[in-house]
Amino acid sequence: GERVLWCAIRAIEESFPGWQVVVYSGDGVDSEQLCASAAAKFGVELKNPIQVVTLHQRPLVEASAYPHFTLVGQALGSIALAWEALSQLNPEVFVDTAGYAFAYPLAAACGSRVACYVHYPTISTDMLQRVASRQAMYNNDSAVASSALRSAIKLGYYHAFALLYGAVGAYPSAVMVNSSWTEAHIRKLWWRFRAPVRVFPPCDTTKLQALPLHGRDTAPLKLISVAQFRPEKAHRLQLEAFKLAREAASQSGRCDRPDA
pLDDT for the residue 260: 46
Mean pLDDT of the 44-65 span: 92
Task: Quick: pLDDT tens for 120-130.
Answer: 999 988 888 88
189 and 84 in a common domain: yes
217 and 112 in a common domain: no
Closest CA to 189 of 131, 127, 114, 144: 127
Whether 143 is in a domain gets the answer yes
Mean pLDDT of the 125-142 span: 82
Whether 169 is in a domain gets the answer yes
Please give the C-alpha separations between residue 20 and each of 9, 84, 91, 249, in angstroms, as whole numbers: 10, 20, 10, 54
Range name among 73-77, 78-82, 138-142, 164-168 with the lowest pLDDT average: 138-142
Residue with the larger pLDDT of the pair 223 and 56: 56
Residue with the larger pLDDT of the pair 31 and 135: 31
Please give the C-alpha separations between residue 259 and each of 20, 211, 218, 220, 226, in angstroms, as whole numbers: 54, 21, 12, 6, 20
185 and 221 in a common domain: no
| Best-predicted range by mean pLDDT (154-158, 161-165, 225-229, 230-234) | 161-165
Task: Quick: pLDDT tens for 80-112.
Answer: 999 999 999 999 999 999 999 999 999 999 999
Number of domains, the chain: 2
Tell me the residue range of the domain where 248 lies.
212-252
Q: Is the model's pLDDT at 249 over the cut of 90?
A: no
What type of residue sits at position 253?
Answer: G
245 and 193 in a common domain: no
Whether 228 is in a domain gets the answer yes
Residue with the larger pLDDT of the pair 181 and 238: 181
**Contact present, 34 and 23 (Cβ < 8 Å):** yes
pLDDT for the residue 255: 58
pLDDT for the residue 53: 95
Residue with the larger pLDDT of the pair 54 and 142: 54
Rounded Cα–Cα distance for residues 228 and 225 (Å): 10
